[in-house]
């Protein structure tokens, strides 16, 4: 009686795969940073920082009675700048995570016929 042994060995080193994934993520990050929306966000951030610096200069030059109001304006400008830039960063991070998940799923689908069959089955269901 003949028996067959099917062994599956990985053809790539896990460290190399992690490095390639990190390299691709870094390359994707550089491409995203070169988009116009990123330039606009950086311009807004620097505008907010210049507003904060201007308010700080006003605080230094103001007499004692107006100092409290200037501090309130300064901290309000700081918080608004942080909130707006934080929302932008969060939106970009979520988009990056989604793109990374889709890229990993597609690379898995290209190497595993079962995943590709599931994707095709889902496409067939959605088209009917």
Over the stretch 20-53, which tens digit does the pLDDT of each residue have?
A: 888 888 888 777 766 767 777 778 778 878 887 8
Those residues whose C-beta lies under 8 Å from the C-beta of residue 89, and which sit 6 or more positions away, are none
Over the stretch 59-74, which tens digit does the pLDDT of each residue have?
A: 777 776 677 777 777 7
pLDDT at 98: 93
Over the stretch 119-128, which tens digit does the pLDDT of each residue have?
A: 888 888 888 7
pLDDT at 1: 60
Cα dihedral sign, 118-104-16-24: positive
pTM over 0.85: no
- Are the beta carbons of 28 and 96 closer than 8 angstroms? yes
- Are the beta carbons of 74 and 48 closer than 8 angstroms? no
Backbone angles phi, psi at 8, to 5 degrees: -115, 120
pLDDT at 31: 77
- Are the beta carbons of 77 and 51 closer than 8 angstroms? yes
């Amino acid at each position: 009686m003949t028996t067959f042994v099917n062994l599956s060995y990985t053809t790539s080193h896990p460290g190399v795969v992690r490095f390639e994934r990190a390299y691709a993520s870094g390359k994707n990050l550089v491409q995203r940073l070169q988009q116009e929306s990123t330039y606009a966000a950086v311009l807004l951030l620097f505008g907010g920082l210049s507003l904060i610096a201007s308010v700080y200069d006003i605080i230094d030059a103001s007499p004692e009675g107006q100092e409290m109001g200037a501090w309130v304006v300064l901290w309000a400008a700081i918080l608004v700048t942080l909130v707006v830039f934080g929302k932008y960063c969060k939106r970009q991070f979520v988009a990056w995570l989604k793109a990374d998940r889709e890229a990993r799923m597609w690379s898995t689908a290209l190497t595993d016929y079962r995943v590709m069959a599931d994707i095709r089955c889902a496409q067939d269901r959605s088209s009917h």
